[in-house]
Amino acid sequence: GSSGVRLCRTAEELAKHAAYLLGGTRITQSTPKILIEEFAQGRYYNVDTMGHQVVGVGTAEFDCPPHFVFREVTFPAPLGKDEHERIVDLSLSCLQALGLGWGPANIELRWTKRGPVVIEVNPRLGAGPQLVNLAYGIDLVTEHIKLATGGKCALLKKRSHTAAWRYLIPDLDGTLDWIDGGTQAAAVPGIAEVKLYAQPKMPIIRKGDYQDLIGHVIAASPSRDQTATLLQQAVDLVNWTITPFKD
């Protein structure tokens, strides 16, 4: 969920964030450690696989840097044939290199000037099985259960839609006065789900990770443009106010 993850552009920023992490606010292990990685600049993609097969490739946008909080996820990603093939080949190579040939996996990468660069490989379902189901009619959870109980999974696409997931992210800290519009948003045709996590009078303290999110809206339709329009229409119906904390 990007907890403790931050983009550091200078040695000073790195030193400050390392001191914050090692100060005990984020790391509780007996031997504290931090991980420093090169920042891969480029479009983000995530790949869902089952066994040795790539089910599909999604894409996502993040909220404001220096944090990595997801703002919107779209499945499938708009990719050309060559780009898709390179991502599929790289993903299957990751599975082979790590000995992951059974069950679900999720691979995150960015398309940089050097081409696709792997960020992480997770031997589990990703965060978006619901989008895969809405777009392709493939229920990855059910197919995983089939495998776990000795059966065979079926990964044939039943349709070819576009599904998108927009997170609701507050833009300041304070007390949530009210949040409303979820019922109206859910009534928009093509909206698959609306969930509001936050309750009135809750304190909003942004930490730059998944805990900042106060809700989400999911839309699906036969076309990418239509899905984007429906999603924005529903999101615009959800409103809230936050009273900043007093100094």
Active site residues: 124
DSSP readout, the chain? Answer: --TT-----SHHHHHHHHHHIIIIIS--SSS----------SEEEEEEEETTEEEEEEEEEE-STTS--EEEEEES----HHHHHHHHHHHHHHHHHHT--SSEEEEEEEEETTEEEEEEEESS--S-HHHHHHHH---HHHHHHHHHTT-------S---EEEEEEE--SS-EEEEEEE-HHHHHTSTTEEEEEE---TT-EE---SSGGG--EEEEEEESSHHHHHHHHHHHHTT-EEEEEPPP-
Nearest one of 100, 141, 124 to 46, comparing CA atoms: 124
129-136 and 140-148 helices, crossing angle to 10°? 110
Nearest one of 43, 37, 42 to 17, comparing CA atoms: 37
